[in-house]
Amino acid sequence: MRFKLIAFDLDGTVLHDDKTLGAETLCALDAAAEAGALIVPATGRIYGGVPEALRLRSFARYFITINGAQLYDAQRGEVIARAEIPNDLALRLTDYMAGLDVLYDCYKDDWGYVSGSLYERAAEYITDPGILALFRRTRTQVPDLRSYLREDGGSVQKLQMHFRNLRERKRQLELLPQLFPEIAVSTSVGTNIELNIRQANKGDALRALCAHLEIPLSETLAFGDGTNDLSMIRAAGLGVAMGNADFAVAAAADTVCDSNERDGVAKFIERLLAQ
């Protein structure tokens, strides 16, 4: 195996649209691990939101989570690196989001929190059944998210919004970087916007992991589809966009593979192993 590390996004990349992980993909990842590659999921989800089929795999040790806000060694139960939104900035962002017609929530201390009133209306904003199920499984309701964060006083790993008005989503994608230049703005599914501190991104997390393990970036392979994968696609020795990738991701990638629905990651790895 010419690559020492293979990093991959989950939603829209190795997961099918129904959020299942195909047997062909698991077999290909197992084969790559047996050939000597380190297998690293790189997701916007928290560690607990990674499918068990991946978390319990024999090769599963390192995880890039929350868009790079955390680099986690599951074997040791240790955080290798983190980058979080300071409380004062998180409060300014939640004040701003409260004025929009959105479902907004946050990841904090490796778990999701949302105002109870918004949790009850989640289906109005999240139409994808798999994403909605994940949202409900990984969120704790609090009376008011802004009050909760203010009283807690700690940092936040990620803030996110889901829109029912996609024109407004497009407008906010353009506006947010101007209003909050210290924030990295990205997307992972068709209705959301994700907000991390600028230092938290999958590309920098990949660099940090490679430095930690003394693996040259030139010997890494990365797969992704959403704009939260852009930095990783650019950082990797070989960046591969999915056939269903956002235009910007496809333009930045070194090559394009088949779609997530057609097990593009598995097919690409199988071809590498056959060489």
Q: Does the pLDDT at position 268 exceed 90? A: yes
Tell the burial category of 154 from Cβ atoms under 10 Å away from its Cβ (0-12, 13-18, 19+). Answer: exposed
Query: For the residues 87-111, what does the mean pLDDT come to?
Result: 98
Q: pLDDT band at 74, cuts 50/70/90?
A: very high
Residue 92 parent element (H or E): helix 87-98
Q: What is the pTM of this model?
A: 0.94
Measured distance CA(206)–CA(67) in Å, rounded: 11
Q: pLDDT band at 2, cuts 50/70/90?
A: confident
Measured distance CA(116)–CA(113) in Å, rounded: 9
Domain ranges of the chain: 5-82+200-274, 87-197
Q: Are the C-beta atoms of 26 and 53 separated by less than 8 Å?
A: yes
pLDDT tens track for 105-159: 999 999 999 999 999 999 999 999 999 999 999 999 999 999 999 999 999 999 9
3-state secondary structure (DSSP) of residue 169: helix
Name the superfamily (CATH) of residues 5-82+200-274.
Answer: HAD superfamily/HAD-like (3.40.50.1000)
CATH classification number, 87-197, choose in 3.60.15.10, 3.40.140.10, 3.30.1240.10, 3.30.300.30: 3.30.1240.10
* Secondary structure tally for the chain: helices H, strands E: 12, 14
